[in-house]
């Protein structure tokens, strides 16, 4: 579809193209990473849009379409968003991840989501310097991680034990893999470094050339402002990240605080504490 627009001899408005790219990104994230639809969802329609645009039968605004839920008049890509977006599918998908794997840490959209959140923090800071390089961030390296569990997966140190008193092994796993406990790193770190106490994670360790959160990504720097890291902080940051998701991708249902609580998967742990 993009190639059809850029290779056509038709004149196009750059603002309209940007609007199209924005809704395409929204479609890819909401349909494939949230709703977990099949990878070919919408293919035939979008090939059709490309052909029709190239033959001057459709405009870019026609392809974007309209969204009017009150009278159920939806067209273009907006129609496909309304038709195929399903937040409950995301909940079902995550429920399985928390039962059988590593919760949000094994979500196939996690890296992209945290990167978008990082860019949002950069924009809020009015700083033009990115702290995370996308290529380095997404390249897998042996025993190195670009996304860190703040409360480690193996919290054996006394500094962490006091934060998880009374929790079962399964509850600890849920807590460590909750959305609010995961942070994108400006520089991939050896996985063994994740077990350090929160104070060392924040400030680093000179004798090991270990860089702390205080000079890391914008996400790391925000966590660095915390004096402690436990269940309460993980919950609060989880709400913050879900609020960002709801606002950034216009997910109306996820703006509800009670709905957000469901997506944190921490209810049983919070009742204990």
Residue that wins the pLDDT comparison between 100 and 142: 100
Task: Check residue 54 and give its pLDDT.
Answer: 92
* Interaxial angle between packed helices 76-84 and 43-54, expressed in degrees from 0 to 180 and rounded to the nearest 10: 180
Name residue 144's beta-bridge partners: 141, 190
DSSP H helices in 39-185: 43-54, 60-64, 76-84, 87-100, 110-125, 134-138, 158-161, 169-176
pLDDT attached to residue 175: 97
Tens-digit pLDDT profile for residues 87-100: 999 999 999 999 99
Above pLDDT 90, what percent of the chain? Answer: 80
Confidence (pLDDT) at 73: 85
* pLDDT grade for 10, boundaries at 50, 70 and 90: confident
Question: What is the Cα gyration radius of the chain?
Answer: 21
Confidence of residue 71 (pLDDT cuts 50, 70, 90): low
Neighbour-count burial of 200, counting CB atoms closer than 10 A to its CB (0-12 exposed, 13-18 middle, 19+ buried): middle
Query: pLDDT band at 42, cuts 50/70/90?
Result: very high
The three-class DSSP label of residue 145 is strand
Q: What is the pLDDT of residues 195-240, one digit of tens each?
A: 899 999 999 887 667 779 999 999 999 999 999 999 999 999 999 9
Q: How many CB atoms lie within 10 A of CB 238?
A: 22
- Of 138, 169, 135, 137, give the one whose Cα is nearest residue 155: 169
Report field, pTM of the whole predicted structure over 0.85: yes
Helices 231-248 and 110-125: angle between axes, nearest 10 degrees: 90
């Amino acid at each position: 579809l993009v190639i059809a627009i850029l290779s056509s001899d038709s004149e196009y408005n750059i603002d309209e193209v940007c609007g199209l790219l924005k809704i395409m990104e929204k479609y890819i994230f909401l349909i494939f990473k949230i709703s977990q639809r099949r990878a070919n969802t919408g293919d035939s329609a979008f090939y059709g849009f490309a052909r029709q645009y190239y033959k001057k039968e459709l405009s870019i605004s026609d392809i974007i379409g309209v969204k009017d839920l009150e009278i159920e008049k939806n067209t273009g890509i907006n129609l496909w968003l309304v038709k195929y977006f399903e937040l409950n599918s995301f909940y079902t998908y995550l429920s399985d991840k928390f039962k059988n794997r590593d919760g949000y840490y094994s979500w196939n959209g996690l890296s992209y989501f945290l990167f978008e959140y990082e860019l949002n923090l950069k924009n809020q800071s009015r700083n033009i310097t990115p702290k995370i390089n996308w290529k380095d961030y997404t390249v897998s390296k042996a025993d190195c991680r670009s996304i860190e569990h703040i409360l480690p997966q193996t919290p054996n140190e006394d500094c962490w034990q006091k934060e998880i008193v009374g929790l079962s092994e399964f509850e600890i796993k849920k807590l460590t893999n909750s959305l609010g406990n995961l942070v994108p790193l400006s520089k991939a770190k050896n996985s063994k470094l994740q077990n350090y106490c929160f104070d060392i994670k924040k400030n680093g360790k000179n004798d090991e050339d270990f860089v702390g959160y205080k000079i890391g990504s914008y996400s790391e720097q925000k966590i660095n402002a915390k004096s402690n890291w436990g269940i309460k902080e993980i919950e609060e940051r989880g709400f913050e990240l879900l609020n960002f998701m709801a606002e950034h991708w216009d997910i109306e249902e996820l703006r509800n605080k009670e709905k957000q609580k469901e997506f944190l998967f921490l209810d049983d742990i919070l009742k204990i504490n």
